[in-house]
Amino acid sequence: MSVSYTLSELAERLAGEVRGDPRVVIRGVNTVAAAQPDQITWVSDDKYRSRLSVSQAGAVLVRRDAGDAPMPSLGVDAVDPALCRLLELFSPPAPRPPAGVHATAVVAPTARLGRDVAVGPFVVIDDGAVIGDRTCLYAGVHIGAECRIGADCVLWNHVVVRERCQMGDRVILHPHVVLGGDGFGYYFADGRHNKIPHHGGRVVIADDVEIGAGSTVDRSKVGQTYIGPGTKIDNLVQVGHNVSIGAHCVIIALCGIGGSTVLGNGVVLGGQVGLRDNIRLGDGVVVAACSGVSVDIDAGQTVSGMPAVDHRQQLRELAVTRKLPDIAAQLKELAKRVQSLEAATDHS
Amino acid sequence: MSVSYTLSELAERLAGEVRGDPRVVIRGVNTVAAAQPDQITWVSDDKYRSRLSVSQAGAVLVRRDAGDAPMPSLGVDAVDPALCRLLELFSPPAPRPPAGVHATAVVAPTARLGRDVAVGPFVVIDDGAVIGDRTCLYAGVHIGAECRIGADCVLWNHVVVRERCQMGDRVILHPHVVLGGDGFGYYFADGRHNKIPHHGGRVVIADDVEIGAGSTVDRSKVGQTYIGPGTKIDNLVQVGHNVSIGAHCVIIALCGIGGSTVLGNGVVLGGQVGLRDNIRLGDGVVVAACSGVSVDIDAGQTVSGMPAVDHRQQLRELAVTRKLPDIAAQLKELAKRVQSLEAATDHS
Amino acid sequence: MSVSYTLSELAERLAGEVRGDPRVVIRGVNTVAAAQPDQITWVSDDKYRSRLSVSQAGAVLVRRDAGDAPMPSLGVDAVDPALCRLLELFSPPAPRPPAGVHATAVVAPTARLGRDVAVGPFVVIDDGAVIGDRTCLYAGVHIGAECRIGADCVLWNHVVVRERCQMGDRVILHPHVVLGGDGFGYYFADGRHNKIPHHGGRVVIADDVEIGAGSTVDRSKVGQTYIGPGTKIDNLVQVGHNVSIGAHCVIIALCGIGGSTVLGNGVVLGGQVGLRDNIRLGDGVVVAACSGVSVDIDAGQTVSGMPAVDHRQQLRELAVTRKLPDIAAQLKELAKRVQSLEAATDHS
């Protein structure tokens, strides 16, 4: 499949403005470095504009108020949404199973499917589950009993949603996500760890949440584990039982969030961050990558390090740490000088 | 489904003692903060008792010798097992496939299934595998050739157990666990990494082990990778080839254990801990979350940090690290004062 | 299944040389510590030779120029490849689905399968996918539309390769690997994170790559995410969108590589390493386990720590950090002595 547009055709679709030759033919989108003469690139930040001079791109998407570019340009009010529109124009949509239930799927008679639900091969939907309109379940998805899945969701291959979990509309779960596995809870008695039952709990996911491949969200033993609207979670993230995550958070790959921890709205966790159990992060907290947080963090704070502290404090400590060998040497030398002074004083 | 009990009915089932109105009707269990008037909550630790005063719970589960509570209470000898019993009473059990083999499963004629084994849809069981009585395989599980699975095990969706691996009784494997993938072993020659065959090795799991969603346990190249009885492993943990883990260990999410490393009994690894290959952790070692261990650790030690050292030493170092900017400033100021003294001494 | 060879038969197959009794019967391979009298062990490094004195092994594989061993020995030019040959001789090969398409698999009519391709149960192959000769797809694999898979590849259970991804020959993907999930890219506008379409991008994997269980490689939004020939990736590793990894790299478990980061050839990442987005690691860079890298690293450097710096610098800093409590005490004591000197000077 191949599509092409002239720059002026693109300008029409994006409500943009052409500078330079409007007849240049564009067949794709690519980075400044990799774009070919039949591709359009983009510059969303003025600091990257200088790279354009060595780009082979046939055209560039820029802000409407940007200066001249070395190739024909398409000026728009906001680059990011226009770029998304370009990507849609040139990319065939991801193939999905057709609406309806694949012949190989195993769907309980008591499950209720909305209009135009797409159920791929080898999908299992258990008793009493409800699937919203136009939701798409790729091959091998398993929806447990009495789950409620919203409309326009996309559950990629082998996603497992255990019994009684719930999600809103437009939720995207990438391959191998597990929602509602038992929380990691035991009590120690009689010389062994005794399992605390978790099948009474559940996971509740709000609208517009996206969760990356292989991530796991455990069910609570009572109440629910919750992920708020618009929150985006990357691949291979672990969310413990009874965790509550606010709206519009961003959680990068390989983070682990301990049980019953609470995140406010707009929290950002860098990659590989660990949060211990039973702590609270206020609205807008930012935790730098590879940090570990073991205490409550007030709203608006940026923290880093292990254990994480205020980021500016951490930077100050790091600056001194870099000089530690010098400091040790200076201290030693100073001690000698003091000793000399003491000797001199004794003699004086 | 909805169940309800009066407090006196619950007391009878838990061999407990009611204080206050025994006729209060309970329909569920919840936390102190979230419990409603028709729910029972619990306090396992006296330090949380003060929170009861603002709880709306209709009743509270406490130790038999606990003091008065602001709502009717149910006193028991041990709160944890009683709480588990309550959770069982109010939670419908997790749905499972019925005993027997689902019509879509692919079971080799030479596989041997015990009594009341439940085999879900799209399960694959290969040649010569043996599955113990009452074990349950959820949809999409794959049991490799000549595996031996014990009785009363629960293998959740898409668990993969590769050929010739073995597990005891009452083992629980959460969705997407992989047992017996090839160990990560190569030798470098002729300008490339050459794969060392691992299909001769295997993984052996003892009784009562539980492994969380997405965790992976690699097979050894010779001998076996071993996990001892009663050990509990959280989600997204990597266990390398030829690792040996003792009994009743607890390993939190996102840990990585390098090849041939040996853990004694009762070892605890906090979340995101890394253990290098070929080291030994003695019985009862505790490694704090986010630590990295690169040397042998004696039995009974608690370690933390990267690289991990004795936890008290780590705390002392951290306390000074917090003051490093001050220390650098003090050192600078002291150097000046010494210089003044030296000048004064020269002049004197 | 049981196989046995005399030591002289093994010598013939390995082009090796027997010292001691050539008639000893060998039925398996095991470590020095665990080997039994009917097993052969190996010593690839002279420093481990001393352990042989307490080994029960019936024979030992050594370098041809090694000294005497306490049991019959088999001398070869290079121990590692000979050990691999031994492991192959004594281990039955991993069972695989027979060539042909399993009756339960769902293969699009437009997919093209090479000679002797093995397609296991519950495999899905979408429109226009091309699978090379002798490639093996275990149960539950999903190959997306228009993917191109090379010859002699092995894709273990439940591997998901999304649409239009590509891989070379002899690629091994362990269970639950996900190739080509959407990259984690959003732009913030109107109070929420807006998804940037990624279905136009893809993942390209070169020849002889191996990727461990549960690892995820995201697709780019434009261009491609790339993994070079001979690179080996362990379990539970996350590779972000548009990352480019060179040839013959080694990446240990639980690493995370941020979007658009570029690794040269022969890079080694220890376990749990994090690389931020948009940085470059030159050829031969080594990053120690549990480190976090946030800046470009020149070719040939070894770095460690969080944030990672030159490894020798890191070791020097660590050595001082171990002494920080002493240093703080010394500084305090020195301040007192300076105060005394100042007092004495004032009085003099």
> Which pLDDT does position C47 carry in this prediction?
73
Of the partner residues B104, B232, B253, the one whose CB lies closest to the CB of residue A256: B253
What is the average per-residue pLDDT within A176-182?
Answer: 98
List, in order, residues 6 or more apart from A65 with CB less than 8 Å away.
A75
d(CA A269, nearest CA chain C) in Å: 13
Q: Check A158 against B176: CB less than 8 A apart.
A: yes
Q: Single out the residue in B34, B64, B90 at which a domain terminates.
A: B90
Pick from B207, B216, B212: which is nearest to B183 by CA?
B216
d(CA C334, nearest CA chain A) in Å: 7
Of the partner residues B104, B172, B348, the one whose CB lies closest to the CB of residue A348: B348
- Taking the C-alpha atoms of residue A278 and residue A285, their distance in angstroms, rounded to an integer, is 16
d(CA B57, nearest CA chain C) in Å: 37
Same structural domain, A193 and A261: yes
Tens-digit pLDDT profile for residues C129-186: 999 999 999 999 999 999 999 999 999 999 999 999 999 999 999 999 999 999 999 9
> Which pLDDT does position A146 carry in this prediction?
97
Is A76 inside a domain boundary?
Answer: yes
A276: which chain B residues are within 8 Å (Cβ-Cβ)?
A: 271, 289
Q: What is the DSSP string of A30-80?
A: --TTT--TTEEEE--SGGGGGGGGG---SEEEEETT----SS-EEEES-HH
- Taking the C-alpha atoms of residue A111 and residue B4, their distance in angstroms, rounded to an integer, is 27
List, in order, residues 6 or more apart from B329 with CB less than 8 Å away.
none
Pick from B108, B97, B203, B222: which is nearest to B160 by CA?
B203
- Taking the C-alpha atoms of residue A308 and residue C336, their distance in angstroms, rounded to an integer, is 33
Of the partner residues A30, A31, A95, the one whose CB lies closest to the CB of residue C163: A95
What is the average per-residue pLDDT within A282-291?
Answer: 98
B253: which chain A residues are within 8 Å (Cβ-Cβ)?
A: 184, 238, 240, 256
> Which pLDDT does position B220 carry in this prediction?
94
Give the single-character DSSP code of C168: -
Cα-Cα-Cα-Cα dihedral sign, residues C181, C184, C189, C191: positive
Name the pLDDT band for A2 (thresholds 50, 70, 90).
Answer: confident
Question: C touches which chains (3+ CB pairs under 8 A)?
Answer: A, B
What is the average per-residue pLDDT within C110-134?
Answer: 98
Of the listed B176, B199, B241, B311, which one is catalytic? B241
Same structural domain, C14 and C47: yes
- Taking the C-alpha atoms of residue C200 and residue C215, their distance in angstroms, rounded to an integer, is 22
Q: Which two tokens stand for residue A339?
A: 């000793």
Of the partner residues B158, B327, B330, the one whose CB lies closest to the CB of residue C158: B158
Q: Single out the residue in C51, C75, C90 at which a domain terminates.
A: C90
Does pLDDT of C91 surpass 90? no
Is A153 inside a domain boundary?
Answer: no
Q: Which two tokens stand for residue B48?
A: 């949380």
- Could you list the residue range(s) of the whole structural domain that residue A347 is in? 320-348
Q: What is the DSSP string of B97-122?
A: PPSEE-TT-EE-TT-EE-TT-EE-TT
Q: Single out the residue in C90, C110, C144 at which a domain terminates.
A: C90
B210: which chain A residues are within 8 Å (Cβ-Cβ)?
A: 195
Is B138 inside a domain boundary?
Answer: no
Does pLDDT of B191 surpass 90? yes
- Taking the C-alpha atoms of residue C15 and residue C82, their distance in angstroms, rounded to an integer, is 9
What pTM value is reported for the model? 0.96
Does pLDDT of A1 surpass 70? no
> Which pLDDT does position C143 carry in this prediction?
98
d(CA C345, nearest CA chain A) in Å: 8
Give the single-character DSSP code of B336: H
- Taking the C-alpha atoms of residue B255 and residue B238, their distance in angstroms, rounded to an integer, is 6
The domain tally of chain B equals 3
d(CA A86, nearest CA chain C) in Å: 10
Name the pLDDT band for B16 (thresholds 50, 70, 90).
Answer: very high
Mutation test of the interface with chain C: which of A2, A137, A235, A269, choosing the one with the most C Cβ atoms within 10 A? A235
| Residue in the structure block whose two tokens are 């205490």 | A295
Same structural domain, C169 and C283: yes
**Under 8 Å between Cβ of B112 and B129:** yes
> Which pLDDT does position B347 carry in this prediction?
65
Tens-digit pLDDT profile for residues C12-24: 999 999 999 999 9
**Under 8 Å between Cβ of B197 and C91:** yes
Q: Check B184 against C341: CB less than 8 A apart.
A: no
Same structural domain, C284 and C343: no
> Which pLDDT does position A165 carry in this prediction?
98
Same structural domain, C325 and C262: no
C343: which chain B residues are within 8 Å (Cβ-Cβ)?
A: none
User: Under DSSP, is residue C225 helix (H, G, I), strand (E, B) or coil?
Assistant: strand
Is A137 inside a domain boundary?
Answer: no
Q: Check C230 against B193: CB less than 8 A apart.
A: yes
Name the pLDDT band for C26 (thresholds 50, 70, 90).
Answer: very high
Does pLDDT of C316 surpass 70? yes
Q: What are phi and psi of C325, to 5 degrees?
A: -60, -40
Q: How far is CA B333 from the centre of its chain?
A: 51
Same structural domain, C170 and C296: yes
Same structural domain, B341 and B229: no
- Taking the C-alpha atoms of residue C234 and residue C250, their distance in angstroms, rounded to an integer, is 8
Does pLDDT of A271 surpass 60? yes
Q: Which two tokens stand for residue B301?
A: 């030690």
Of the partner residues B182, B191, B223, the one whose CB lies closest to the CB of residue C30: B223
Of the listed C142, C174, C198, C241, which one is catalytic? C241
Same structural domain, C72 and C166: no
Mutation test of the interface with chain A: which of C142, C173, C345, choosing the one with the most A Cβ atoms within 10 A? C142
| Residue in the structure block whose two tokens are 């005497």 | C68
Is C30 inside a domain boundary?
Answer: yes
Name the pLDDT band for C348 (thresholds 50, 70, 90).
Answer: low
Cα-Cα-Cα-Cα dihedral sign, residues B185, B187, B191, B195: negative
Same structural domain, C260 and C202: yes
Taking CA atoms, what residue in B is nearest to C155?
A: B181
Taking CA atoms, what residue in B is nearest to A184?
A: B234
> Which pLDDT does position A312 carry in this prediction?
96
Tens-digit pLDDT profile for residues A37-95: 999 999 987 777 788 999 999 999 999 998 889 999 999 999 999 999 999 999 888 89
Tens-digit pLDDT profile for residues B89-115: 998 888 999 999 999 999 999 999 999
CB neighbours of residue A51 within 10 Å: 13
Alpha carbon of B188 to those of A175, B100, C84, C266: distances in Å? 34, 49, 13, 11
Is A105 inside a domain boundary?
Answer: no
Same structural domain, B179 and B262: yes
Instruction: Identify the burial level of C336 via C-beta atoms within 10 angstroms of its C-beta, where 0-12 means exposed, 13-18 middle and 19 or more buried.
Output: exposed
A218: which chain B residues are within 8 Å (Cβ-Cβ)?
A: 213, 235
Same structural domain, B226 and B329: no
Question: A touches which chains (3+ CB pairs under 8 A)?
Answer: B, C
Alpha-carbon torsion angle A182, A183, A188, A193, nearest 10: 40
Of the partner residues A87, A92, A104, the one whose CB lies closest to the CB of residue C221: A87
CATH, residue C292:
2.160.10.10
Pick from A259, A263, A267: which is nearest to A242 by CA?
A259
Tens-digit pLDDT profile for residues B134-182: 999 999 999 999 999 999 999 999 999 999 999 999 999 999 999 999 9
Instruction: Identify the burial level of B2 via C-beta atoms within 10 angstroms of its C-beta, where 0-12 means exposed, 13-18 middle and 19 or more buried.
Output: exposed
Taking CA atoms, what residue in B is nearest to C234?
A: B184
- Taking the C-alpha atoms of residue C120 and residue C143, their distance in angstroms, rounded to an integer, is 12
> Which pLDDT does position B215 carry in this prediction?
98
Q: Check A253 against C276: CB less than 8 A apart.
A: no
Same structural domain, A299 and A324: no
Of the listed A102, A241, A311, A347, which one is catalytic? A241
Q: Check C200 against A94: CB less than 8 A apart.
A: no
Active site (annotated) includes residue B248:
no
Burial B108-136 (b: 16+ CB within 10 A, else e): eeebebeeebbbbbbbbbbebbbbbebbb
Is A139 inside a domain boundary?
Answer: no
d(CA C174, nearest CA chain B) in Å: 7
Is A198 inside a domain boundary?
Answer: yes
Tens-digit pLDDT profile for residues B260-305: 999 999 999 999 999 999 999 999 999 999 999 999 999 999 999 9
> Which pLDDT does position C345 carry in this prediction?
80
C84: which chain B residues are within 8 Å (Cβ-Cβ)?
A: 187, 194-197
Q: Check C196 against A80: CB less than 8 A apart.
A: yes
